[in-house]
Structure 1
């Protein structure tokens, strides 16, 4: 795979991590508020994926496949089939290890399920509607479901733990990027499938946070500071 492709993937991964860390450091409550700036990274990735999805022989996506076939023709590894779920599993494993999450487990589970419903639903619709052919000749190439899963998991993991543990976004998005690279190395996806899926996974999980109502374990409202005065006045003047 050419150096320019690696640099491209590292650039997107670094900017995704930086955006997530900036968001995590905001002095807010446990809720994640919608801000338009949060759309830049996922929308940029998805747009780049669409632009790169060209069927011309000289297109970047075909050049990447040619590089793969030249240097990694015999490469086959199924680690990505399992590693795609590692960030999602870590959402609970980190808490069991004693790390403090941003959201309680009930709301966190609801957000995770909603985010994955959006993510997997959109991946399925796009795959079955477009029916793009993979580099290995099989169907349903665009977008990469493995990559979308990995980046959705990296997003919830970073939001939940990135505010307190600064290394989490780097580790989670780094792993997700590695899974995307493995999908290309395994000849299962084009670079366009992977980049679009990364944006889709991020956007799906963020949308789950933005739309969540936090119905469980709400923080109690602060007591009225004047209530004690009202009570004392009522007792002294029956």
Structure 2
């Protein structure tokens, strides 16, 4: 009993601090934003899923049309990364059921859509999943830098436009990146087994 009370005593202040930090950072980003960029940021935020799934579908289509087995493996890996990350995020969203920040804190300005539960950010998951998958499949600086710059911009717009907490975005970036990395390791393992 004492041990559990002691653990609760240690964890609760950390939780309160992190929740306060979460809303303080979000308030600063959302309320001090350059409102002239709202339209541009909506375009960036709305590009997340179409780019993530579109790139995967286009690469898969090209690999089958041109019958390139190496390209096919990479494109299927990219598609598997995006879909897997999306599934994980959706399960977490509906298991945790965290309300959107603009619902809990009405002083925030909601400037774009955001209807499902808040944690983690689906847009950010999609963006970091495709950025990581494409960067691992095509490890060139001219792929990696734009991919991660775009993914970072998507994550920032979710906070700037008032629909996600920083923790939603951070965890989503971790999910997207790690899912793509794990799928890549599975692809490498599969390729080694095929050679044997």
Please list every run of 5 or more consecutive structure 2 residues that lacks an aligned counterpart in the other structure. Answer: 1-13, 63-68, 104-114
Q: How far does residue 178 in structure 1 lie from its aligned partner after superposition?
A: 0.5
Are residues 1:78 and 2:78 paired?
no
TM-score by length of 1: 0.56
Are residues 1:63 and 2:21 paired?
no
Q: Which residue of 2 is the match for residue 168 of structure 1?
A: 143
SS at match of 2:100: coil
Say which one has the larger Rg: 1
Please list every run of 5 or more consecutive structure 1 residues that lacks an aligned counterpart in the other structure. Answer: 1-52, 97-102, 222-238
Q: Which residue of 2 is the match for residue 145 of structure 1?
A: 122
> Aligned partners of 1:90, 1:110: CA distance in 2, in Å?
11
Q: Which residue of 2 is the match for residue 108 of structure 1?
A: 74
> Which structure shows the higher helix fraction?
2
Q: Which residue of 1 is the match for residue 94 of structure 2?
A: 128
The answer on whether the counterparts of 2:30 and 2:159 sit within 8 Å (CA) in structure 1 is no
> Aligned partners of 2:27, 2:74: CA distance in 1, in Å?
42
The answer on whether the counterparts of 1:107 and 1:214 sit within 8 Å (CA) in structure 2 is no
> Aligned partners of 1:146, 1:55: CA distance in 2, in Å?
26
Name the CA shift for 1:153/1:78 in 2 (closer, same or farther; >3 Å).
Answer: same
Q: What pairs up with 1:1-238 in 2 under 5 angstroms?
A: 54=15, 59-72=20-33, 75=38, 77-79=41-43, 80-86=45-51, 89-90=54-55, 104-137=70-103, 139-162=116-139, 165-212=140-187, 213-214=190-191
The answer on whether the counterparts of 1:123 and 1:143 sit within 8 Å (CA) in structure 2 is yes
> Aligned partners of 1:55, 1:140: CA distance in 2, in Å?
21
Q: Which residue of 1 is the match for residue 65 of structure 2?
A: none
> Aligned partners of 1:157, 1:88: CA distance in 2, in Å?
12
SS at match of 1:143: coil
The answer on whether the counterparts of 1:123 and 1:145 sit within 8 Å (CA) in structure 2 is yes
Name the CA shift for 1:71/1:160 in 2 (closer, same or farther; >3 Å).
Answer: same
> Aligned partners of 2:30, 2:87: CA distance in 1, in Å?
32
RMSD: 3.0
> Aligned partners of 1:84, 1:106: CA distance in 2, in Å?
21
The answer on whether the counterparts of 1:147 and 1:194 sit within 8 Å (CA) in structure 2 is yes
Deviation per CA, 1:179-231, whole angstroms, max 9, x where unpaired?
0000001111010000111010011111111112249xx77x9xxxxxxxxxx
Deviation per CA, 1:6-40, whole angstroms, max 9, x where unpaired?
xxxxxxxxxxxxxxxxxxxxxxxxxxxxxxxxxxx
